[in-house]
Structure 1
Amino acid sequence: MTSSSVAAADVVIVGGAVMGSSTAYHLLADPNFKGRVVVVEKNPTYELSASALSAASIRQQYSSAVNIRISLYGIQFLRSIGERLAVDGERPEIGLREGGYLYCATEAGAAILAENHALQTAEGADILYMDPSSLKARFPWLNVEDLKAGTWGHSGEGWFDGWGLLQAFRRKARSLGAEYVQGEVASVEREGNRVVAVHLRDGTRIPCGALVNCAGSGGSALAKAAGVSIPVQAKRRYVFTFTCRDRIENCPLLIDTSGAYVRPEGEGGFICGASPEADVDPDWYDDDPASQDIDFSFFEEFIWPALAHRVPAFEAIKPGRAWAGPYDMSLLDHNAFVGRAGEVENFYLCNGFSGHGLQQAPAIGRGLAELIADGRYRTLDLSELNFERAIENRPLFERNVI
């Protein structure tokens, strides 16, 4: 294959889904950045991206302050997305619904729930701590017999159209000058501790001043091509849909004590899922059609019984369609790696979001843009998510993982 070179880019971003497009937008909107941004996208349909296939929700109910702060910024961004990402007077709409998250706890988990709640409210999140009688009064359809407490996002938490957010970021980035190139990175060219170019499978060479890894399920492979090993593995997650015979009023995004979740979707519908146990957690491979296979027994034997116990009306449901998608898991601590990739000084990581990517995209894109443009975080300090914690085996544990 004949190699060809294109004009140098100040920043090459690999992966044009929500993280890549958010980073491109924030870079080009940053007055301190004056440069050319090229986004390399393997599959511009995004049909296999987590951005398109996830449950698309946002919460502040985390156990680490940095994640709470990221999502507090995120909800502000989503609320004002029409103004922020409008192009030629056309305002994007993502159908944001602030129905809240409801975390349930038995006696065994109540102390941790209370500890997390104290941190969340100290950071400014609008979360209510509720005893069983308060839970039953607000959610009369909820089985509280085995519950000790629950926490519910009174405002600032909910769900939205993830596909709409991706397209809004992408359209705005393009309007500001981002160039999107279809292709797959075959190799990364380094000189010492710097990346100097990426080579695509079609032979194209793109020189770059900085390289950003927003490759999602392909993030580990791209990092390896640059000489960096990151503890991120793409896993497979299932999303199941169903309708319920009875009407469930004011249903939030419910996190059962079992780990199963459910939330409303459309008129009378619901989507649900859960993380499998580690020893049966399947991997995801973009190029293997089998990765899209769905284990319906996981719904029938685990998710449905758990949800029917918590919401008795769910004993009478009609299952609908289901799908599988990628989930880039941080094997260290279920928190993303954001920032410089160790000794490779102009290679930036944006990987391992462990299901939090869509809601964290506004703050992460802004932070990476600041780091690239100024060499530091100007507004929200994301340094706790740095790659050094993996090098030093210093995990930042997140208790609230879905």
Structure 2
Amino acid sequence: MEATRDVVIVGGGVIGSAIAYFLKAAPAFSGTVTVIEKDPSYEFGSTARSWGGVRQQFSTPENIQMSQYTQEFLGQISRLLGIDDTPVDVSYHEQGYLFLAEDRHIPRLYSNNAIQKGLGVNVGLLDADDLARGFPWMNVSDLAGGSLGLSGEGWLDAYSLNQAFRKKAISLGVTYIAQEAVSLDVDANRISAVRLADGTRLPGGHIVNAAGPAAATIAKWAGVDLPVRSRKRFAYSFSCRTEITGCPLLIDPSGVHMRPEGKQFLAGCSPPPENDPDCTDFDVDYGWFEEHIWPILAHRVPAFEAIKLESAWAGHYAYNTIDQNAILGSHPEVTNFYFANGFSGHGLQQSPAVGRAIAELITFGEYRSLDLNRFSFERLMTGEAISEHNIV
């Protein structure tokens, strides 16, 4: 007779591994947890190719609160994820995000600031003179102001965070299976099992879709239309002979963003919707950097007129086509099927809060730490999209 797993998680990236950890770390949960991960090297997963950014400058209160919990979690990560008193190092570098604004952006900047301040975010509004004084290497001639995170923001090593969650989960008794899920067995309004490429059938009481860019495929096996698509994003690494000091993660009004990475810099920019097809390959478009990103960088930071492109890579967003926000919780009809999908580039920074939240839903049938019902699947059915104004 096949042994039934209490929870089967499809996807062992940072979201799936965070859910597994929080389940097994909770005293109220005593069941088994199995994680299916087709890429045990994590070389091609979204997590390993992430910029690793963590910020609190959102316009949606729940997004802010999730990132605030991430800061709390990082502050005690060795206690929570350490094994045998071994410290956990995810190379967290605390440095603010700087959102730059032209005149037309100022009302939104102030509106977002009021929401952020109301939730205790340490953020400052800057005018053009403030920007010129604080960042003398920047061209501010066409700017009206900016919003700078003064603490609680930065970036970390995404692969290290994923591995820390995974190793701790395994130490707590989670089983990882290096196989590809190929279908789901659906009986009435429940998923009874996950089937693997090698023919294995894994019966499960609760099935979690944490499959990142492949989430829609997993959902389709249960007859669910999930509006999450794989969208390609590029990261370009370049060097500059001129020293640029005190550089935050900078978001230009054009959408071009960049940050320091050791002695080099990373830069990127999401393409316009009409040039953003579903995509699963890892080919790099160098022309996007040469023709679009570099001219904007050189305008904003004159020293970047003379740079050397060192390397580039592609990764994939699990892009929610409805509103670019997370889809969390169980399906209203397939009641033992849980979603942790559609983060659209914010999965890594939201992983501690999402891991805790899905673990609470499975264990208690409700959120207990942070109410994330706003991100439920039901909003996709009612058309109640979440309007987040600080998507990058």
Query: 1 CA distance for matches of 2:54 and 2:129?
Result: 26
Query: 2 CA distance for matches of 1:247 and 1:304?
Result: 18
Given the alignment, which residue of 99, 109, 125 partners 1:103?
99
Deviation at 1:6, TM superposition (A): 4.9
Query: Under a length normalisation based on structure 1, what TM-score does the superposition of the two structures give?
Result: 0.96
Alignment of 1:233-244 (within 5 A): 233-244=229-240
1:275 and 2:270 matched? yes
Gapped runs of 5+ residues in structure 1? 286-290
Q: Deviations over 1:225-252 (max 9, x none)?
A: 0121111111001100001111110100
1:186 and 2:182 matched? yes
Query: 2 CA distance for matches of 1:313 and 1:159?
Result: 24
Classify 1:6/1:265 alpha carbon distance in 2 versus 1 (closer, same or farther; 3 Å). farther
Match of 1:314?
A: 304
Given the alignment, which residue of 166, 171, 183 partners 2:167?
171
1:46 and 2:42 matched? yes
Deviation at 1:103, TM superposition (A): 0.1
Query: 2 CA distance for matches of 1:317 and 1:282?
Result: 30
Query: 2 CA distance for matches of 1:7 and 1:252?
Result: 51
Q: Deviations over 1:97-146 (max 9, x none)?
A: 11110000000111101110110111111111111111111111111111
1:356 and 2:352 matched? no
Alignment of 1:2-401 (within 5 A): 6-266=2-262, 268-285=263-280, 291-401=281-391
Question: Which amino acid in structure 1 is aligned with residue 215 of structure 2?
Answer: G
Deviation at 1:182, TM superposition (A): 1.1
Does the 8 Å CA contact 1:6/1:204 hold for their aligned counterparts?
Answer: no
The Cα RMSD (Å) is 0.9
Gapped runs of 5+ residues in structure 2? none
Query: 2 CA distance for matches of 1:91 and 1:228?
Result: 42
Deviation at 1:351, TM superposition (A): 0.7
Deviation at 1:342, TM superposition (A): 2.4
Query: 2 CA distance for matches of 1:76 and 1:307?
Result: 33
Does the 8 Å CA contact 1:8/1:206 hold for their aligned counterparts?
Answer: yes
SS in 2 for 1:325: strand
SS in 2 for 1:399: coil
Number of aligned residue pairs: 392
Runs of 4+ in 1 over 4 A off after TM superposition: none
Question: Which amino acid in structure 2 is aligned with residue 238 of structure 1?
Answer: F
Question: Which amino acid in structure 2 is aligned with residue 284 of structure 1?
Answer: C
Does the 8 Å CA contact 2:14/2:47 hold for their aligned counterparts?
Answer: yes
Query: Under a length normalisation based on structure 2, what TM-score does the superposition of the two structures give?
Result: 0.99
Does the 8 Å CA contact 1:339/1:387 hold for their aligned counterparts?
Answer: yes
Question: Which amino acid in structure 2 is aligned with residue 306 of structure 1?
Answer: I
Q: Deviations over 1:169-199 (max 9, x none)?
A: 0000000000000111111111111111111
Query: 2 CA distance for matches of 1:363 and 1:242?
Result: 33
Deviation at 1:397, TM superposition (A): 1.3
Report % sequence identity.
48
Question: Which amino acid in structure 2 is aligned with residue 271 of structure 1?
Answer: L
Question: Which amino acid in structure 2 is aligned with residue 122 of structure 1?
Answer: G
Query: 1 CA distance for matches of 2:74 and 2:2?
Result: 36
Question: Which amino acid in structure 2 is aligned with residue 279 of structure 1?
Answer: E
